[in-house]
A and B are shown apart, each in its own frame.
Chain A
Amino acid sequence: MYVNDYLDTINKWKHCPMANYVCPVARYTKLETNTPRGLAFIYSLIVDNLKDIDEVTIERIYQCNLCRACEAISRDDSSIPEFILAARRDIVEMKMAPEPVIRLKDDICNNNKLCDMDRVKDLASNSKSTPETVVVLNYESESSKKIFSIIKKLLAENNIDCAEINIGKYPAPAAMLRELGYQDLSSKVLNNLTYIIKNVKFRKMVFITPYDLELLLKSQTVDIDNMSQGLVHAFEFLEEFINEKVKRIDKKKEKIIYIDSEGNRKSDKFYEIPRKLLIDVAGFDIKEMVWNKKESFSCGGLTLQYLYCDIFDGIIKIISNELKDYNIKKVVTPCPHCIENLCTNPDLKDNYEIIDLWEALFTINKPGG
């Protein structure tokens, strides 16, 4: 059992309630077995052979949205999310994955080109990029399309060639499959992604969401060492681009609420980039959401919305309620996937202007560069 590597984590957390309050799932359901403590506790009964795993335990394990908020406030390095990932691998290997998990896995595999080597080869061979091209690794969504069009325009204004590789329906297939417990499939996606990296010419390859890039850079099994310099997250690319090419951006002096992106955690090297750009470069007056920086929170994560949409909706509703306190109508979150999550709530969508970093910088008051 993969979870045996996390017995120490389970023992440390199974009686510790100090991180319960940051868990967005538990904040919605209020149920003890959705908390970090509760999850460690029920799994301790399984690893101690006091109870057999059952449907309810599996449901609770998959209801965790792996946002890592508990990890963010923990004083020690044991990680509930890593234990959850291991438990899910075990569940998949025991062939006990619930129906919605299997359905989502199949949908990801069917609708993401990175899951299939033939389609990956097509993507690579169809690319007309050159060693000077900025290649954007994109996925099919309204907000990511919008971001790509802004990137394309900015690059064109600066005579830089730009190309898009559209991987399909989901933003981060490797991370999503890993979240679901399908580690082998996730590794396969990373290998396929490596094929693209090695067979497409580019100056920079920009990842619109950070999840798969993060996995790729941490992966022990893929060899991209000599290419990794050119792989950048969108925030890093944007910061560098603004520093080098954009001479002036009009100071907005407008109040916005900033919501931390789920995928952009305080431990990540690009955590502060969006705020820095919004405040220092664009002059926005930022109001941080109450959980930003210190505790993290989540807009709903990568897979929860497909597995337990009631919980996902509940989390978004909590965010919607908290936003009312600020009396500001413009909301910026740096990740397009987070925007899509937030926009599932009609109350939020109708009453707030929810935009990403790129739009905030370049569309609202027109780029000044």
Chain B
Amino acid sequence: MHEFFIERVKNELIRIVGENNLYISDFDKSAYSVDVWSVSRKWVDKGLIKELPDFVVLPENVQQISKIIKLANIYSIPVITRGGGAGGLGGGIPFFGGIVIDIKKLDKIISLDEKSLNIKVQTGIMQIDLEKYLNSRGYTLNHLPASIYCSTLGGFLSTRGSGVLSSKYGKIEDMVLSLEVVLPTGEIINTLPVPRHSAGPGIEHFFIGAEGTLGVIVSAVLKIFYLPEVRYFDAYIFDDLHLALEASREVMINGLEPSVLRVYDEGDTRDVVKKELGIDVNNGSYVVIGFDGFKSIASAQRNMAIKIFKKYKARDLGEKLGNQWWENRYDPYYPPHTLESKRDLYGVIDTITTHDNIEKLYLSMKKELEEKFSDWNIIFTAHFSHWYTWGASVYPRFIVRKPPENPYEFFRLNNAIWDAAVRVILENNGILSEHHGIGFHLSPYMREQYKEAFLVLEKLKKGLDPKNIMNPAVLGFEL
């Protein structure tokens, strides 16, 4: 952008948000040019940082966001909305410069309805703050992802996030009653107050998972729950992954509603469960299953699940190890366990499919990556952590301990591994992402994923965002 032009937009932004909420120094902008996507981190580590926003703004209210977007339309400037900067696929990186709207000053709790059990809250709130607020009043959102400490509610809504209790309480989209959204042309709209109706499509779903391409979600009404009377967590070890998956499927299709159901493959059992969570297991497939709610109901569900697990020859490791998982569940996300702190090339792929495809998808991906990248001694492990009556998510991760030093070779290898993994997903009726979103990284695969149906997304995008200014680098939209 020409500096005269920058100056003009800068002055207009100052009029909207005030000088104190506008940041234009290189250092401040640099910090908004990277998120948790491993590739963007490596760019920085290798000294290749290039993509800077032109402006970083921290608006204090919805009207300011509306005005910023109207301004961006006038000058055709890209707008990237950012929350905690914890996206794992480059969805918040300002590839084309423009205005980064950091939404974290919109962090107010607007109302708590204790009769209908819902909360209206601005989306810049850190999820941990929302959860603490609710807990102190005897409630919970039951959305407890590993990134609860570093992500905003808006981030979760924009990527259709899942928490560790999703097998019972659903994903974030299942918790939404209604949304307030600033459209790509600056108008402020509210969706219908409840999500279950037959008055046309639920338009809130146009914005959930849209990664900021169809507007800025500025507040949400979310359903909340009472804190449970009990939480049970039990740990089991199965002889192999196949038995663990079958037993878990049976628990789900029988409607036992576990709050937690995590199945670790043999590799993850060794690497994550033992090394990172400190749980002493060696072989087989480790499973944690949890139930919560009223004691009598949770106990009955738990007993039914135990019967099923026993049928598949599961060895009961006890409640202590189950609780240990619950207590340590976020540890793998802190240094020294995080993979980036070890300078590896790594990736966490996150897909979902129906029960009939799960094992096939997993085995195909494992075979493909281990064979194709054997020269790099690739390590492939996975766990299965978000379960539904009809299927489950597969959460594979790959690690290359000695990646190429040359940054371009590093990126080429990374892309080749991801491409091979995504091919397996698409060939096996998998979906590109269960809860991490698409971001920039998976954008090229969206058309292949949706086939003809992508037209619907494209028409929505063109209709709502005619100047294509809203986060233009993600979800595979035309540039």
| Residues of chain A at the chain B interface (Cβ within 8 Å) | 11-21, 30-33, 37-38, 41-42, 44-45, 48, 50-51, 54, 56-57, 60, 74-76, 78, 290, 325
Contact = CB atoms under 8 A, between A and B. Distances in A.
Contacts of B335: 12-13, 16, 74-76, 78
B341 to A, nearest CB: 5
B270 to A, nearest CB: 21
6 contacts: A12-B335, A16-B341, A18-B334, A31-B102, A48-B47, A75-B331
Contact of B36 (A12, A15, A74): A15
Contacts, number: 100
A30 B102 contact: yes
Given A18-B149, A50-B49, A74-B334, A33 B31 contact: yes
Interface residues of B, number: 42
A233 to B, nearest CB: 31
A290 B126 CA distance: 15
A41 B44 CA distance: 9
Interface of B: 23, 25-28, 30-32, 34, 36, 41, 44, 47, 49, 58, 84-86, 102, 104-105, 107, 124, 126, 128-129, 132-133, 136, 147, 149-150, 330-331, 333-338, 340-341
B27 A60 contact: yes
Contact of B32 (A20, A32, A75): A32
Contacts of A48: 47
B132 A41 contact: no
A37 B334 CA distance: 12
A45 B41 contact: no
B150 A20 contact: yes
B340 A32 contact: no
Given A21-B126, A30-B58, A56 B25 contact: yes
A20 B84 contact: yes
B136 A290 contact: yes
Given A31-B23, A50-B49, A60-B27, A18 B333 contact: yes
B364 to A, nearest CB: 31
Contacts of B30: 41-42, 45, 51
A75 B338 CA distance: 11
B22 to A, nearest CB: 11
Given A12-B341, A290-B136, A76 B28 contact: no
A79 to B, nearest CB: 12
Nearest to A53: B27
Contacts of B102: 30-32
A12 B44 CA distance: 13
A55 B207 CA distance: 40
Given A31-B28, A42-B27, A60-B27, A76 B336 contact: yes
Given A45-B49, A325-B136, A33 B28 contact: yes
Best-buried of B27, B85, B150, B340 by chain A (most CB within 10 Å): B27
A13 B305 CA distance: 41
Given A32-B85, A41-B34, A76-B334, A50 B47 contact: yes
A12 B41 CA distance: 12
A75 B129 contact: no
Contact of B26 (A20, A51, A60, A78): A51
A49 to B, nearest CB: 8
Contacts of B124: 30
A311 to B, nearest CB: 11
Contacts of A325: 133, 136
Contacts of B105: 30
Contacts of B26: 51, 54, 56
A357 B27 CA distance: 43
Contacts of A18: 149-150, 330, 333-334
Given A16-B338, A32-B85, A76-B336, 14 more contacts: A13-B335, A16-B341, A17-B85, A17-B149, A19-B149, A21-B149, A30-B58, A31-B58, A50-B47, A51-B30, A75-B331, A75-B336, A78-B335, A290-B136
Closest 9 CB pairs of A and B: A17-B150, A30-B104, A56-B25, A75-B334, A32-B31, A42-B27, A38-B31, A12-B335, A15-B41
B132 A290 contact: yes
Nearest to B100: A32
